Each structure stands twice: as C-alpha cells, then as structure tokens.
Amino acid sequence: MADPLPHLDVRALLPQRLDRGIGIVGAGAIVGAGHLPAYRQAGFNVIAIADIDHRAAQRAASEWEIPRAYASADALLEDHEVEIVDIAVTPSAQPPIAAAAIASGRDVLCQKPLAPDMATARTLVRSAETAGVCLAVNQQMRWEPAIRATKLLLEAGHFGEPAGALYDVDIGTPWENWPWLAALPQLEYRYHSIHYLDSARYLFGDPVAVVASIARFPGQTSVGETRTFTILEYSDTLAVAVLVNHNNWSRTTRALIRCEGTEGRSEGRLGLFEDYPVGGPHSLSFVSRADGEAWSRTFEARWFPDAFAGPMAELLCAIEEEREPLTSGRDNLRTLALVEAAYLAAADGGRVQLEPPGVLP
C-alpha cells in the first residue's frame, strides 16, 4: 500500500470570493490568537471590530490593520459594509448579538456553545432560517490537522470498516484565567469537550446513545466538573471513548486521538496542549493492516490559529453555493443535544438514548 499521508491537504477549502466584509464582535484573547491570524493568512476581508472595551477594539484594529473599531455590536451593525458578523464573546452575551445580526439580514458565525441552553439555541436557528441567512458555529476542531486528516482517510476507505476512536486528553488547565468559566456549575463538557463530541460527530456521525461520568479534583477552585469519562455508542461494532482530565499538575501532558478500523489504525497528536495556546506540532501516524506498513506526518498547520479559518471559509463557501454550512446552527443543535445527554447520563448513572438524526432537538 502506498503512503496515504503525504498528499492529504488538511487546509480549509476557500471560497471564490474573499472580499465579503467581515465584522468581528469581541476583541479578546481568542480573537488575537485564533481568528485574526487565521483570517489574515486565508486572505479574508476583516473590515471592522467591536468590543465594549473600545480601547481593546482599537488596539486590535491597529495591530491587524482593521479599518474601523466600534464600542458596541450595535454600532458595528450600523456599518453597511459588514456582510458577515463573527461573534467571539461569552456565551451569555452571544444570543442577543446573534439575534440582532440575524434581524439585520447578516450571515453569522457564532462561538461554541451556540447558546447557554437548548431553547435559546433553537430560537436562534429558527430565526436564521426564517430570515434566510446562514448561521454557523465555530466548531473549528473539525479543521484541526489530525482530525481533518483522519476524516479524509476515513472517507477514502483506508480504515476499512470503522470500529471506533479514543480521545485521551490529560492536561493542566488554569480555569482561574477565565473567572466566568470557573464559576459555572457545568464546565468541562459544555466549554471544552464539546470540541471532542462535535468532532466525533464529524468523523462518525451521530451516536445512538451516550454513557458518561463526571468528577471534580481534590482542592480544585472551579465549581464545575474538570474530569469527564464518556462513551458514545453507535452500534455493537462502533464506539468512541472520550477521556479528559484537566488536573495534570506534572510536566508530562498528553492529548491524543486514536482511530481504528478493520484495515487501519491511526494516532493523532494534538500539539496545542503542549504549551497552550501556542502549542507544539500536530501530527498523525497511520498503520495499514494489509502489509503492516506504518507512516507518519507532522503538519505545518496547527489548531491555533490555522483551524480557525475552517468555519469562516465553510460559511463563505455555503453563502456562495446557497447551501447549509457544515457547522450550521441546525447541525450544532445535535452537538448541543449530545452535551446535554452526557450531563443527563452522568447525573443518572445510566445510558441516555439520543433522538434519531434529522430530528430537531
């Protein structure tokens, strides 16, 4: 078997038009570390940025050569050259901004989670559909190099019949750096492992059931869970395990995703967590059952910032092609439903059945 890895292009597919005006609401760390460097590299046209801390918006505008800086989302929405609104604020602040952007007729990219609760998320999705605008969610892990490469290998049939995957993440996360997060009663699933649950849906589709357990760590200062143990059930031959611990106090951390099938196995390395948010290299190794050959590839691209181009590029392509984005609001309802099911399973100590795909949660 020939080495399948060298020719995998894990980059996001770009639209034909790169000139659509993008306005960003939020000038925090994630915008500087993810959105703006990725957008500049992709050639996207960011024309405005807004933040209630106007000085932060002005600093970002100056650093990234953005023409206009506003002190509020409302002011940004009055800018008629803004065609797409990219929201990067806290989850509780996001829904009213998204609702206003939708009402103004703009296409919208929201941060994950789409909303703090399912009812609000449903309302946003239905509002966007009624208004005839695209609503997408920034589930950028789908474009993380190891995940994207695994997806391409699965689609090409290199794994044979998929049998499952393991997300094995053992890291130290200083939740106190985000006081609003540390104070929440629901933490790990809703604001971190939502990435793994969403990317598992991307790789394998929707599971039929979930089994879960959550835990805190002795002496932790954050209120919510910081350890999660999750099984996504698909069939009697396909299951995905997601094991996450944020309390690793040692210098040896681990963030891997293993995927296996009847004809191939892979292991991806999520280098982001080696020195968050800068991180180390992302890589993937693959072994073929047919001849026992093994290959590996270290990617130039990384989760931060490169993967952040993915959701915006996909939204722009969807607008051009008049279709639903891959990470649409409607699709993201399934990811949110999976998060809710995991919490329910952990609370009940049982197995929670999920609604069939296509049913609006």
The sign of the torsion formed by the CA atoms of 314, 319, 321, 324 equals positive
Sequence spans of domains, the chain: 21-139, 141-308+336-353
Q: Rounded to whole angstroms, how far apart are CA atoms 213 and 215?
A: 7
- Give the closest residue to 48 by CA, choosing from 81, 89, 93, 18: 81
Q: Model's pTM, two decimal places? A: 0.96
DSSP 354: P
Radius of gyration of the chain (CA): 20
Q: Identify the helix (H) or strand (E) that includes residue 320.
A: helix 309-321
The CATH homologous superfamily to which domain 21-139 belongs is NAD(P)-binding Rossmann-like Domain (3.40.50.720)
DSSP 247: B
> 67 preceded by cis ω (within 30°)?
no
Phi and psi based region of residue 343 (left: phi greater than 0; alpha: psi -120 to 50; beta: remaining): alpha
**169, 273 contact by CB (below 8 A):** yes
From residue 199, give the alpha-carbon distance in Å to each of 144, 235, 237: 9, 18, 19
**DSSP bridge pairs for 269:** 256, 283
Domain 21-139 matches domain 141-308+336-353 at the CATH topology level: no
pLDDT, position 358: 59
Q: Rounded to whole angstroms, how far apart are CA atoms 229 and 27?
A: 34
Q: Rounded to whole angstroms, how far apart are CA atoms 343 and 347?
A: 6
pLDDT, position 291: 87
Q: Rounded to whole angstroms, how far apart are CA atoms 165 and 176?
A: 31
**Cα 176 from chain centroid (whole Å):** 22
pLDDT, position 359: 55
pLDDT in tens, the chain (361 residues): 788 888 899 999 999 999 999 999 999 999 999 999 999 999 999 999 999 999 999 999 999 999 999 999 999 999 999 999 999 999 999 999 999 999 999 999 999 999 999 999 999 999 999 999 999 999 999 999 999 999 999 999 999 999 999 999 999 999 999 999 999 999 999 999 999 999 999 999 999 999 999 999 999 999 999 999 999 999 999 999 999 999 999 989 999 999 999 999 999 999 998 877 778 899 999 999 998 899 999 999 999 999 999 999 999 999 999 999 999 999 999 999 999 999 999 999 889 999 876 555 5
User: For the stretch 110-147, what's the b/e string if a residue is b when 16 or more beta carbons lie within 10 angstroms of its beta carbon?
Assistant: bbbbbbbebebbbebbebbbebebbbbbbbbbbbbbbb
Torsion of CA 94, 95, 101, 105, to 10 degrees: 150
Q: Rounded to whole angstroms, how far apart are CA atoms 109 and 88?
A: 9
Q: Identify the helix (H) or strand (E) that includes residue 62.
A: helix 54-64
* Residue type, position 151, single letter: K
Domain 141-308+336-353: state its class. Answer: alpha beta
Angle between helices 329-348 and 118-131 (to 10 degrees): 170
pLDDT, position 7: 83
